[in-house]
Chains A and B, each alone.
Chain A
Amino acid sequence: MKQTHDYQHDIASIRAAMERSSKFLSLSGLSGVMAGVYALAGAGMAYYLLYYPQAPYGSQPHIPATQAGIIRLLILAFIVLILSIGTAIVMSYRKAKRAGNSIWNTTSRQLLVLLGVPLITGGLLIITFIINEYFGLIAPACLVFYGLALVNASSITVKEIGYLGFSQLILGLFAALLPGYGLIFWGVGFGVLHIIYGTVMHYRYDS
């Protein structure tokens, strides 16, 4: 007959199986820090493109209505996006491999769907903003949709992702309230917050 500690062991194994099967825990904290660095560098360059040599933020940017200016900004944004996603995939892949897991499993597929729906919807909406020249809404929309994606995905990964999501949402709403400061909010959200939460996740979970 089994002893009490056997039953306790049974319960522990249930808990472990449920947790491991329903959460994606290979997310690399350091890749979050890197994404923050890329975002800050990108925001710095965008600031230069938009405002240099004119007055500080808050005043109307002087170029974006030209097509060349918009295309340059879009290319810059695209580079930041690709670098961030690429770093996240490579570093999470390495982290999963160290732990003897694969990166492509049921939970990672779920994670992609949970993140993908708000992100792709937001991305398409932002493209319509660009076409219609609602430039002031781009930064708040980036932050809000990214925040929604993170909150949406937080149930199947580490809890810090949820906190990061809520922070982005709040920041996005403030950005919408203060048009003209979009780039600053964008830099704080995608740059500073990524670096902070990435560092926290790195110390808590990367090993």
Chain B
Amino acid sequence: MKNPFEQLDRILEHRVRLQIMSVLVANDSYDFNSLKEVLNVTDGNLATNLKALEKEKYLTVTKSFVNRKPNTKYKATEKGRTAFRKHLDALEELIKNQR
């Protein structure tokens, strides 16, 4: 059997990144401020982790303006969804094995 530890996604082992992907998988798209509120993290922390996920192509970014205020929306990509699902499967496997 494959070692479930190897199945864990290294990018998603970070709690904030894992939570960002959870939100994006559960919702069609999500904007920066709403994400910040749901996850209760600072601007800088959120921005850094969003950048990291964008670099991995786990999410796409759309920038627009609403009433002249910048509004940045994030959407999970197919790659991101697959990675998230695999990571969840691995977590489940690990917990099952260690019980």
Contacts and interface: CB of A to CB of B under 8 A. Distances in A.
Contact of B30 (A2, A11, A14, A21): A21
Nearest to B23: A21
A21 B26 contact: yes
Nearest to A20: B38
A105 interface: yes
By Cβ-Cβ distance, the 4 closest A-B pairs, closest first, are A21-B23, A18-B26, A17-B22, A17-B19
Q: Is the interface of A mostly helix, strand, loop or mixed?
A: helix
Interface stretch (B42-50, B56-64, B90-98): B90-98
A25 to B, nearest CB: 11
B69 interface: no
Given A17-B23, A21-B23, A101 B94 contact: no
A21 B91 contact: no
A133 interface: no
A99 B10 CA distance: 33
Contact of B98 (A4, A21, A101): A4
B18 A106 contact: no
Interface in A1-58: 2, 4, 7-8, 10-11, 13-15, 17-18, 20-22
B72 interface: no
Interface residues of A, number: 19
Contacts of B27: 21-22, 106
Contact of A101 (B20, B35, B37, B99): B37
8 contacts: A7-B95, A14-B22, A15-B22, A21-B34, A22-B23, A101-B37, A105-B38, A106-B27
A10 B16 CA distance: 10
Contacts of A4: 94-95, 98-99
Contacts of B88: 11, 14
B38 A17 contact: yes
A22 B98 CA distance: 31
Contact of A7 (B20, B23, B34, B91): B91
A102 interface: yes
B52 interface: no
B55 interface: no
Contacts of B91: 7, 10-11
Contacts of A13: 15, 18-19, 22
